[in-house]
Structure 1
Amino acid sequence: MNRAMLKQYTKLVEFLGLTLGPSYEITLHDVSGKNSSIIAIVNGDISGRNLDSPPTDMALRAITENAAGRDYRINYNGLAGGNKVLRSSTYYIKDSGGNLVGMLCINFDDSKFQALSSQLFQLIHPDNYVENNIAIRSDILELTEDAPETERFNDSVTSVAQSVIQEVLSEDGVPVDRLTQAEKIRIVSQLEQRGVFRLRGAVDNVSKALRSSPASIYRYLTRIRSEKEESF
């Protein structure tokens, strides 16, 4: 992101934080360089993140897919530490060529409002009506924790990488100690597509997870990237 754009959106983060209040976390990601980073954040205690926190798995996917032609994405589930469900929205910042250079994210913690709503229902409605409504809401939250479109907020690069690695390994369905070289290459290819190797230290994390040497992972990556260039 150029400096003028960076300054403009940084001020916007500050403005939104002051306007919306303490139940809203506002973050600004700069993804224009090799490694993406949070460059401004308000109310980071909501997700437990700070300026040193890595991008989420969903953010990595948006980066590798160049936001898939979208301008924004609204009202999807985010899952923070302690299984706190957030209502999240992201605005994709693009340059004049349509390339993704930043992301402005708003995460709303509505847990306090849900508690107040429950108390209000208890005052003005019969108990069984309240219980039915609470049960419906709880079922929705339980189902969305493992939904594929749920964004998970992590507090370290290691936790982001491990989260995606475990997801890919579970999709493959083969124990790590029984993976063939071809299967490991396929897994590395999937991790590459999801942007995991944009994270610092990702190669070491992947090599440990796949029980391979870092040199082997680098070799797989070189082969995958070479084949991708040849296909264009």
Structure 2
Amino acid sequence: MNEILIEQYKKIAKFLAACLGEDYEIAIHEIKNEELKLVHIENGDISKRTLKAPLSELALKFINEKKYEESDYEVNYKGLSGNKVLRSSTFFIKNEKEELIGLLCINFNLDHINKSINKINEELKELFNLVDDKTSYVEESSVEYFTEEISTVIHNIIAPIVEEKNLPLARLSFNEKMILIEELKKQGVFLLKGAVSEAAVQLHSSEASIYRYLKKTQDA
């Protein structure tokens, strides 16, 4: 039943892309066997992602915090892909048991709008000596970073902790590694394919060690 539902949403993604146009990227993520996968994407050139791309940190956070239990969607938050600013929204796909089985994500490329706004602002400043208020046509409360690499997702999560605590990444203690592993797990990173291997690389550990650390988080 879940597979049939996801297939229907793939058709909806094609429909939305045809209706909305090339400035809208439509992506379908599936949750299956405790793993998250990007299974369909329309206008993927906007974020430069392919079906190998991992879920963003913000989307993982939505899942980890069980936002889908409070609402059916999250809308109008900021997305970034390279130098492109996107207006992003996520719809939580649930089955008949209200279990989360996937995500439908829409990312609107704001390049044309922002360029028009900037041009108008420049003309107004020249005419009336206005101060630039840096108006942005997107919510700033949350920011989503799109990437093709899981290494970037993991780096973006652990880097602030490493910097804040001034951790020696190349020679972390057991407790320091546990702090980082717990944060990665908390944010749902290990639902992504290849997460254990990449965490091992970035934490200078073996995959076997990462699995041991994960087991200890369960035992704690």
TM-score by length of 1: 0.82
Aligned to 1:76: 77
Please, what is the CA RMSD of the aligned residues? 2.6
The answer for unaligned runs of 5 or more in structure 2 is none
Match for residue 156 of structure 2 among 147, 152, 163: 163
Change (3 A) 1:42 1:131: farther
From 124, 134, 137, the counterpart of 2:134: 137
1:222 aligned onto 2:215: yes
CA 1:164/1:130 → structure 2, altered by over 3 Å: closer, same or farther? Answer: farther
**TM-score scaled by length of structure 2:** 0.86
Q: State the partner residue of 1:41.
A: 41
| Greater strand proportion | 2
Aligned with 2:51: secondary structure?
coil
**3-state SS, counterpart of residue 153 of structure 2:** helix
| Count, aligned residues | 218
Question: Equivalences for 1:1-232 in 2 at 5 Å?
Answer: 2-67=2-67, 69=69, 70-82=71-83, 84-120=84-120, 125=124, 127-129=126-128, 132=131, 135-137=132-134, 149-177=142-170, 179-227=172-220
SS of the residue aligned with 1:103? strand
Give percent identity, aligned residues only.
35
**Superposition deviation, residue 58 in structure 1:** 1.4
> Does the 8 Å CA contact 2:90/2:105 hold for their aligned counterparts?
yes
Distance between the aligned counterparts of 1:178 and 1:121, measured in 2?
50
How far residue 216 of structure 1 moved from its aligned partner, in angstroms, is: 2.0
Residue 4 to residue 79, structure 1, CA distance change in 2 (3 Å): same
Aligned equivalents of 2:4 and 2:126: distance in 1? 56
Write the letter of the residue equivalent to 1:109. Answer: N
**Secondary structure, in 3 states, of the residue corresponding to 1:162?**
helix
Supply the AA of the counterpart residue of 1:88: S
Unaligned runs of 5+ in 1: 228-232
> Matched residue of 1:150: which SS?
strand
Counterpart of 1:127 in 2: which secondary structure?
helix
- Aligned equivalents of 2:215 and 2:175: distance in 1? 14
Moved over 6 A (4+): none
Q: What amino acid is aligned across from residue 87 of structure 2 in structure 1?
A: R
Q: Is the 8 A contact 2:2 2:95 kept in 1?
A: no
For 2:154 and 2:23, locate their aligned partners in 1 and report how far apart those are by CA, in whole Å.
Answer: 28
Is residue 66–residue 99 contact of structure 1 (8 Å, CA) maintained in 2? no
Higher helix share: 1
CA contact (8 A) 1:165 1:206 kept: no
Distance 1:121 1:159 in 2: 34
